[in-house]
Amino acid sequence: MRKIVVITGGNSGIGLSMAHELARQGAIVCLACRDQGKAASARAEILQRTPGAQVELYKLDLSSFAAIHAFVHAFAQRHDRLDALINNAGAVPIRQQFTQEGFELQFGGNYLGPFLLTHLLMPLLQVSADADGPGQGDARIVHLSSIAHNLGRIDLDTAKGRTPYRVLPAYAQSKLGNLMFSNALARKLPAGITSQAMHPGGVASPIYRELPRWQYAVMRPFLIGPERPGKLAAELAIGSSRRGETGGYFSIQHPRIVSRFAKDQALQEALYQQSCIWAEVPALSGQGLTRRAA
C-alpha cells in the first residue's frame, strides 16, 4: 500500500526536493501550497522526473485558520488516512505582516498554522497508527526547524506584533516554537504516531526571496542544494529504519546544537496549552485528543 504524505509548501526549494524523493519511493505526494500555479508546475516537474508518480494538489494558506480547516476538509474528502505530515512551509518577511487572525506572520504562519494543521489531521494520522491494531501502525510528523532556533526566545506578548519588528528574532522564535512543539508531541502522542524535527542546513531556497540582493549574495557561497535535506525528510517521513523513533532533532550540517529552551518541558507545556487556546483545538493527553477544562 502506498504511503500518503502531505508536504506543506512543497512547490519549491526543500519542499520540492522532498516531493521528488517521496515520489521516487512510491508515496502518494500531496502538495499543500498557497500558490496553485507554482504547485501545478511542481507537479509537472515531478511527473517528468518520475513518470507514473501520484501527485495531488491542495490549496493551503497557513496564515489563515479558515484556509487550514478548508484544506483538511478537502483532504479528508479524498483520503481516510494519513501516513506522514511534513510541516515544511515557512516565510521570512522583512517587514512586519500579520495572519488573518492578527498574529505576527512568522509566529502565526510558521508556527501556529502548522500547530493547528497537525491537530486537525490527527484523526487521519490515528487511522494509520491503528492500521495493524491499536497503536501498532506507523504514522509520522516531521517539523522543519532551524539552527536559528538557538537565537529564539518564546515571548507570547509578541505573538500579535513586535515593536520594533526585527526579522531574525521573529524567525528564531518561530523555529524554536516548531522544535518545542515537536518535543511536546513526542510526549503527548498516542502509540503509533511519532514526531521528529530537523534543521535542513543552510539551503539555497526561495525562503530568502525577500532578503536584499547584497545579503543573499554574501550568504550564497555557504548555502547547499535542497537534495540532501529532501532525502533526510523523506527518510524521517517514511523510511523503515526510522519507524518508532520519536522526539529527535536532526541536522544536515553541523554543529547540531539544541537550545536549552527547546528541552524545557515546562516551557513546552506553557506554549502548547496557550497555542491550543489560540488555535481552538483540544489538547493531546498521550492517549489522543482531550477537551481542555473550562
Output the nine-digit C-alpha cell for 265: 518541558
Cis peptide before 206 (omega within 30 of 0): no
**Residue 211 in contact with residue 157, Cβ under 8 Å?**
no
Q: 33 to each of 8, 45, 77, 98, how far by Cα in Å?
A: 6, 15, 18, 18
Contacts of 136 (CB under 8 A, 6+ apart): 130, 191, 192
Active-site residue, 171 included: yes
Residue owning grid cell 522526473: 49
Name the catalytic one among 58, 111, 171, 272.
171
Say how far apart CA 226 and CA 204 lie, in whole Å.
Answer: 7
Say how far apart CA 18 and CA 74 lie, in whole Å.
Answer: 22
Helices (H), the chain: 13-24, 36-49, 65-78, 105, 113-129, 167-188, 213-219, 227-238, 260-263, 265-279
287 class by beta-carbon count within 10 Å (0-12 exposed, 13-18 middle, 19+ buried): exposed
Say how far apart CA 53 and CA 50 lie, in whole Å.
Answer: 6
- The catalytic residue positions are 171
